[in-house]
Amino acid sequence: MEAYNKFDNNNEDKYEEHRKKLRAALKEEQMEQFRFEFLDMHPYDQAMFFMEQPKDSRMQIYSYLSPEEIGELMESIELEDIEVFFAEMDPRFASMVLAEMAVDNAVDILNELDKDQVVSFLTIMDKEAADEIKQLLHYEEKTAGSIMTTEFVALYQTQTAKEAMQRLKDRAPDAETIYYLYILDDDKRLVGVLSLRDLIIADENMRIQEIMSEKIVTVSVAKDQEEIAQMMRDYDFLALPVVDFQDHLLGIITVDDIMDVMEEEASEDYSRLAGVSEVERSDDNAFISAKKRLPWLIILLFLGMFTASLIGRFEETLDQVAVLAIFIPLIAGMAGNTGTQALAVAVRGLATGEYGKQGKTKLMIREAGTGLITGTVCGIVITVVIYLWKGDIFLGLLVGISIMATLIVATLAGSLIPIIMDRFKIDPAVASGPFITTINDIISILIYFGMATAFMNFLI
């Protein structure tokens, strides 16, 4: 541990030293010194330094670095933070930066910008680069087409290993990955895949079709990005080929793209579980944050009013046995807690693809058993506590049985609602914590007061 800490401290010291020299070079307008120090840093460290600078210093940096160098550091900046930088660049310079970036990364950035900016950049941009970007821009967001890259190495099955190696050398500088080589037939359909290792060790006169593997896992261009992330996890691939309905190779999705997808989906699911309609950004002002939170809060407000009206319907019961009101927060709180626990388990399993059709049935049976056990234990405990506290065994039994029934139903609801939503192709995370809690409040009130009304004679 001490060795790791020492290593981390050395890295921090080195980074801080670079920062001091870079700030000094900017202040003294020493371009060569700045370039020497800046390009010696890792692209991530470059991006962190760049983002720390005020606008005047960033404008200097644009003039000191080439579009390719700016493009490399831009790829290390989060998409939600990047819009301001392209807005402040000279449009011609910005279009050159986008042209130098990996096509899929450039498309991701353009999807964050205003349509007028996108049109302007594509008009100014080099035609070849613009055409590549346009090919990906028209695909629906969050599909394979929107996250794939067209920068890959494709070979023909009739080529020899020697010819393939020469083509690889020619294409490698622009390719996003060279560890997988994709094999096409004469109609440009994907027929096989070849690893770099197999190409290197193959006899140079062998045909590619003799050494390629025909066991190919592909994804449709319209496939959802979340499903693709699950496939990448299951197969442990570094890249997946994207094809159309006739198996023509359109692009590839690499593991770094999938890492971004996983982060995006996790943030989105977390926001929905918290009852926020959209992912909030750190630079959002109070008005924007409120706008994103209000839709769910308004829905929950009306559901809360419905809960209040339910309690009002049992006003006569409360008048006769006022002590029942004491236990409303207890029963509603327990229902909300157990429902949220079941919800978290179900959403996680659905998001990771852990449950197939049989798995969902097994989940429901398990959650029913869990609700029965936890409900029974909690019901017995609260019955004993109320009897010792109030000296009324019937009141204790009423609250205990209510809690038992509530926990069973709430646990089932917490797991069943996201499964139903998944069945209708709705993101299960929409069954957010606040939503399931409010639903379970309604269920618990109905059970509690329904039983209290039915057994009123034992309580008076």
Summarised one tens digit per residue, pLDDT across range 295-325 is 766 776 777 777 777 777 777 777 767 778 8
SS3 74: helix
Task: Encode 385-454 in three state secondary structure.
Answer: HHHHHHCCHHHHHHHHHHHHHHHHHHHHHHHHHHHHHHHCCCCHHHCCHHHHHHHHHHHHHHHHHHHHHH
What is the pLDDT, as a whole number, of residue 173?
85
Distance in angstroms (rounded) separating the CA atoms of residues 328 and 439: 15
pLDDT at residue 188 greater than cutoff 80:
yes
Predicted confidence band of residue 277 (pLDDT cuts 50, 70, 90): low
Confidence of residue 212 (pLDDT cuts 50, 70, 90): very high
pLDDT in tens, 56-101: 999 999 999 999 999 999 988 888 788 889 989 999 999 999 999 8
d(CA 376, CA 370) in angstroms, rounded, equals 10
CA distance 415 to 344: 8
Asked if pLDDT for residue 5 goes beyond 50, the answer is: no
Q: Higher confidence at residue 308 or residue 280? A: 308
List, for residues 102-112, the tens digit of each pLDDT value.
Answer: 888 888 888 88
Which amino acid is located at 83 in the chain? E
Across 7-11, 247-251, 338-342, 350-354, least confident range = 7-11
Q: Which residue has the tokens 């709180």?
A: 333
Cα-based distances in Å from 182 to 101, 152, 195, 340: 22, 8, 9, 46
Burial class (CB in 10 A: 0-12, 13-18, 19+), 305: exposed
Give me the CATH code for the 12-138 domain, please: 1.25.60.10
pLDDT of residue 137: 83
The predicted model gives 129-133 an average pLDDT of 87
- pLDDT over threshold 60, residue 379: yes
Q: For residues 154 and 177, what is the distance between their CA atoms, to the nearest angstrom?
A: 11
Confidence (pLDDT) at 157: 93
Of the ranges 316-325, 344-353, 413-422, 430-439, the best mean pLDDT one: 413-422
pLDDT at 356: 58
Question: What's the mean pLDDT in 270-275?
Answer: 55
pLDDT over threshold 60, residue 288? yes
CA distance 299 to 379: 32
pTM of the predicted model over 0.75: no
> What is the domain partition of the chain in residue ranges?
12-138, 154-269, 286-459
Backbone angles phi, psi at 5, to 5 degrees: -60, -40
Q: Which CATH fold topology does 154-269 show?
A: CBS-domain (3.10.580)
The mean per-residue pLDDT over the stretch 259-266 comes to: 74
Q: Which residue has the higher pLDDT, 162 or 335?
A: 162
Q: Which fold has domain 286-459?
A: Tetracycline Repressor; domain 2 (1.10.357)
**Maximum average pLDDT range among 24-38, 273-287, 331-345, 403-417:** 24-38
pLDDT of residue 7: 39
The structure tokens 């939600």 sit at 80
Which DSSP helix (H) or strand (E) runs through 171?
helix 161-171
When mean pLDDT is compared over 137-141, 169-173, 415-419, the highest value belongs to 169-173
- Residue 421's Cβ-side half-sphere holds a number of Cα atoms within 13 Å equal to 19
CA atoms within 13 A on the CB side of 78: 9
Residue 211 has pLDDT above 90, yes or no: yes
Q: What is the distance between the alpha carbons of residues 389 and 400, in angstroms, rounded to a whole number?
A: 14
How large a percentage of the chain has pLDDT more than 70?
86
The pLDDT score that the predictor gives to residue 2 is: 46
Q: 């070079």: which residue's tokens?
A: 25
38-42, 189-193, 283-287, 386-390: which has the minimum mean pLDDT?
283-287
Lowest model confidence (mean pLDDT) among 160-164, 194-198, 382-386, 439-443: 439-443
Residue (of 250, 245, 122) closest to 182 by Cα position: 250
Question: How far apart are alpha carbons 171 and 168 in whole angstroms?
Answer: 5
CA distance 241 to 153: 11
Cα pseudo-dihedral 351, 357, 358, 360, rounded to 10: 50
